[in-house]
Structure 1
Amino acid sequence: MTTARVWFITGASRGLGRAFTEAALAAGDRVVAAARNTEPLAALADAYPDALVPLPLDVSDRRAVFEGVDRAAAAFGRLDVVVNNAGGLLYGMVEEASEEQIRAHLDVNLFGAVWVAQAVLPHLRAQGSGRILQVTSMGAGGGMASVGFYGAGKAALSSVSEALAMEVEPFGIKVTVVEMGGYDTGLFTQGTTATEALPHYGPLRAELAEMWGEEAGPPPSTAAPVIMELAALPEPPRRLVVGGRSYDQVQELNRARAGLYQAWEALSRKAPG
């Protein structure tokens, strides 16, 4: 009989975090579900009273994260799969964003995930095992107008996570950067902070709106089976794109970037470094 795993999932009250929480519970695992507002988890907690612990937590508060992780580890005696999923979207052009908005955004999307990783590592290292899934985005490989700071936070988390993977693998801890495609998570509604729009960018905004359209994407529940399979792999990849269409787009972007480098190879080689 397979032993039930213990998950610690941030941003668990809605979207992808909620879908991952429900999938883990359905598989017979136990979950500590962290969110700023745990009220949306009440019915789920009633349905799984012995397997789900809602944990109010603001991941931007480093002290609260360390205290919360200690409570999470104590709840079921261990942590097996940590999913750094909490995040939001800062929508607006680079020039428009205020210092307060930028710092608040990165406090959650980048530093919040770092605080969680730092807090869980002593627990995972002590037990000699564990998985950390760092939820980034399929767009983290490059910037896109109007969502530059979202991409910046995810790209930084991606880079830090690759370093983390190298550092903790000797302790039996596996880290995977999970590059999520576009799912209907409510990110562009509940999870969005918008800048004060400058009129100069009106034409670009209209162009982007037409390019993106109104399709919300598939439901988060369709991504959950991939996360469950990933968490069970004995040797997981350090990076994984989640979504077939997103995989194709990432490959297309990679080819375009490689082509750009090659086009300017001669100029690059004029410097000796």
Structure 2
Amino acid sequence: MAKTIFITGASRGFGRIWAEAFLRRGDNVVAAVRNPETLSELKQEFPSNLLVLKLDVIDRTGSFEAIEAAKTHFGRIDVLINNAGYGQIGAVEELSEQDVRLQLETNVLGSLWTIQAVVPIMRQQGSGHIIQLSSALGLNTVTLMGMYSATKFAIEGITETLAAEVSDFGIKVSLLEPGRYATDFSGAESLASSEPNPVYDRMRKVFWEYADNEDAGNPAATVDALFALVDTDKPPLRLILGRTAYPWVKNTYEERLKTWESWQNVSVAAHGK
């Protein structure tokens, strides 16, 4: 049975790949994008089961209106994929107030508004699946991407809490945590940069040298994983994508456990009597 999938940020990258894949297997897709013209050819190819809506996810009212329009058009929403967002390069010291506010509004609040809009619909249906695009950087950090990681750490916390709150309503919740993929994430529309401070120039050079040589995954290879996720009756809360993220995250958590264990006497004493 065809599902109705609502995807934010569907004009490029993972969002575009996933939207097209769902359409080709016969699902209905609502593509929420800032510029509907980017999907004009896809709309011509799938005139009946693709609804393209103009949406800037930082607009809370617009998010509610888009979700309602999708429900009216297709009669239900089975899956919400919050994919819209962008990266930010900049040392913590370099971040401007505008950098911080816009990143939080887009990556965190942008997904919160669509969640708040879709939960009542899914609750009434007695079913639904909310999928949040997090990142391996929602579990780990790297230099110069602290603000981006902060937004993904926030997504992790919101989503884990949401899962516990809506499970009794038949709503499933999942986090996707991809490692590095060869999308356009490093392009001008997906990656912002703060005003550079020369004291971080060497760090920036190392950052880009590593990024250029990293084993990047093929974004098209994620399609089967996404199909498996939306089709299973018992989806995981967290799903890492790619082969590079898991060993990195595993090592980080093992080191954290060692640190916590080595400081247990101090921790317990801090409880008091």
Q: 1:183 to 1:54 in 2, by over 3 A?
A: same
Structure 1 residue 108: deviation in Å? 0.6
Structure 1 vs Structure 2 CA RMSD: 1.4
CA distance in 2, matches of 1:264, 1:5: 50
- Residue 44 of structure 1 corresponds to 42
Q: Which amino acid aligns with 1:42?
A: S
Structure 1 residue 215: deviation in Å? 4.6
Q: 1:80 to 1:237 in 2, by over 3 A?
A: same
Identity of aligned residues (%): 39
Structure 1 residue 98: deviation in Å? 0.7
Equivalent runs, 1:160-199 vs 2, <5 Å: 160-189=158-187, 190-199=189-198
Tell me how many residue pairs correspond in the alignment: 271
Is it true that 1:125 corresponds to 2:115 in the alignment?
Answer: no
Moved over 6 A (4+): none
SS at match of 1:268: helix
Answer with 191-200 or 243-252: which moved more: 243-252
- Residue 271 of structure 1 corresponds to 270
- Residue 5 of structure 1 corresponds to 3
TM-score, L = length of structure 1: 0.95
Structure 1 residue 14: deviation in Å? 0.4
Is it true that 1:84 corresponds to 2:70 in the alignment?
Answer: no
Structure 1 residue 246: deviation in Å? 1.6
SS at match of 2:93: coil
CA distance in 2, matches of 1:205, 1:17: 28
Answer with 130-139 or 219-228: which moved more: 219-228
CA distance in 2, matches of 1:4, 1:210: 44
SS at match of 2:131: strand
Structure 1 residue 267: deviation in Å? 2.8
SS at match of 1:178: strand
Answer with 125-134 or 179-188: which moved more: 179-188
CA distance in 1, matches of 2:218, 2:55: 25
Is it true that 1:241 corresponds to 2:249 in the alignment?
Answer: no
TM-score, L = length of structure 2: 0.95
Answer with 243-252 or 161-170: which moved more: 243-252
CA distance in 2, matches of 1:56, 1:99: 27
Query: Unaligned 5+ residue runs, structure 2?
Result: none
Structure 1 residue 92: deviation in Å? 0.6
- Residue 259 of structure 2 corresponds to 260
